[in-house]
Structure 1
């Protein structure tokens, strides 16, 4: 088979491997999941690479294979969604429906990235030979370099913002008022902790943080107030730092609460290792979900705290 096909195949798979580096901290990366993604990348890349010679030979029926591939990748998205949903009940901190949908959508989209890069690589190769009349090897080198550059461009385009881009995270103190009522920073009434041993555990091992929207922006605050985004933040902390709780210890389940004065979030968390710097980094690295964007757009130019604002 033509060498350019294998080059397009390698470029397509490489584009998926490049994106896998972004997944390690947010998505499962067990060996079987990794193998699944590489195999799917190979299938998608092969489809993209074979499409160009098929069209060149006027075999337009080959386009139907793309529709079948798209349907297959949608099924991959559904399977990934179902798998993660089935795991929710055994998680000490759940991902949440919004985060699961974001992960499933990401798996689908990145397979299309393989098709685009392999198709573009092979297509450019044929275009250079037919139009510029360059030698086969020169065209192969140029198309391979262009394919890698396209993969890097797509990686940049698909890379999502994180909480650190829209909010500052600062440590705050965990205290108890009226003996049982938890207070984190300036916000009290987080939860009622009845057992003295639980309160002592919070005071000795718990960490308190406040997530404050940057630029006093209601647009940034709207992202933080989205329920799906809040749950994603909790899971990102859990996936990085673990949590000191069992299923039968509801007092230690993290509960983010809104500070109405700053439109910020406060949170008391019980990590396995008490390290404030790692906790702040875990919050900042949480990806912003697509479903959390676009909130409070009518207040975009109204700073938080301005007289007459919400």
Structure 2
């Protein structure tokens, strides 16, 4: 019992570490967050590992502790949401409420994954022990292998789609019309840039981005046009590549705009380093937030630019 209990905890924490690697690619984290998440992973894994022998002994009060743990994890979600919301005003580019809620929800769900992986690792051990005549060491090895495989399956199951899965990203020109009207690609009227020095910065450091929905699909278009998703894209660019602006230069804040001609999104962005390939990869790696899905379902059979549905 002691060996499989600790192995269940190790598998649970390992599951969190695997998912933390995924999380760092999608949501920038800080070192102190890593410690907090590992401690929570240990607690969640211990609960999952203890649940199986408790149920075997018909100690149903263990369900009460599980429900209390779930309530604690929900509190972690709320605390994370509140913290990120309080930091919004200090960001050069805001995350937006949709992205904040997505991050907070992720912090809660990851702990449940630890419970699941440790629970089924220990359950596998007890099942093999009761049904088959196999040595204890071999049973532990089989259970450990099962737990590791399960951890990777869970990681794959909860991995989010990204903008690169539903849209093509290309670099377009930045120009000015009527001396001060910003134009990105074929879309004019982005904003009015009155100062010559600011227009020169746009032309020297700026990169024009166009995000085009794949397959001319309205569902894909509705996702990238969602206000929360647009802000997530802007923040993802900023968090990975920085922003060439000061606090008192709001004109350089990236503002995604819709191009009605092809339902694409265009952005004028000023990274710290003008690297077009890095910009494309940053946009494509942006996770799709849950609130952006499920829009324009009635148009799923229609093609952008054609209204016959064929």
Q: TM-score band (shorter)?
A: over 0.9
Correspondence list, 1:277-292, <5 A: 277-292=277-292
Q: Which residue of 1 aligns with 2:259?
A: 259
Correspondence list, 1:129-208, <5 A: 129-208=129-208
Q: Which residue of 2 aligns with 1:36?
A: 36
Correspondence list, 1:1-310, <5 A: 2-307=2-307
Offset, 1:162: 0.4
Q: Is the 8 A contact 1:77 1:108 kept in 2?
A: yes
1:33-83 CA-partner distances (Å, limit 9, x unpaired): 100000000000000001111111111111101100000000000011011
Q: Say which SS state the counterpart of residue 142 (structure 1) adopts.
A: helix
Q: TM-score, normalised by structure 1?
A: 0.98
Aligned CA-pair RMSD: 1.1
Using the alignment, how far apart are the partners of 2:308 and 2:113 within structure 1?
Answer: 47
Offset, 1:248: 1.1
Q: TM-score, normalised by structure 2?
A: 0.98
Using the alignment, how far apart are the partners of 2:52 and 2:17 within structure 1?
Answer: 23
Offset, 1:247: 1.7
Q: Is the 8 A contact 1:11 1:148 kept in 2?
A: yes
Offset, 1:119: 0.4
Q: Which moved more, 1:135-144 or 1:97-106?
A: 135-144
Segments of structure 1 that go 5 or more residues without pairing to the other structure are none
Q: Give the length in aligned residue pairs.
A: 309
Segments of structure 2 that go 5 or more residues without pairing to the other structure are none
Q: Say which SS state the counterpart of residue 59 (structure 1) adopts.
A: coil
Offset, 1:258: 0.6
Using the alignment, how far apart are the partners of 2:29 and 2:247 within structure 1?
Answer: 24
Q: Is the 8 A contact 1:13 1:45 kept in 2?
A: yes
Q: Is the 8 A contact 2:217 2:304 kept in 1?
A: yes
Using the alignment, how far apart are the partners of 1:240 and 1:166 within structure 2?
Answer: 21
1:290-309 CA-partner distances (Å, limit 9, x unpaired): 11111111111110000478
Offset, 1:96: 0.3
Offset, 1:246: 1.4
Offset, 1:139: 1.2
Q: Say which SS state the counterpart of residue 107 (structure 2) adopts.
A: helix
Q: Say which SS state the counterpart of residue 139 (structure 1) adopts.
A: helix
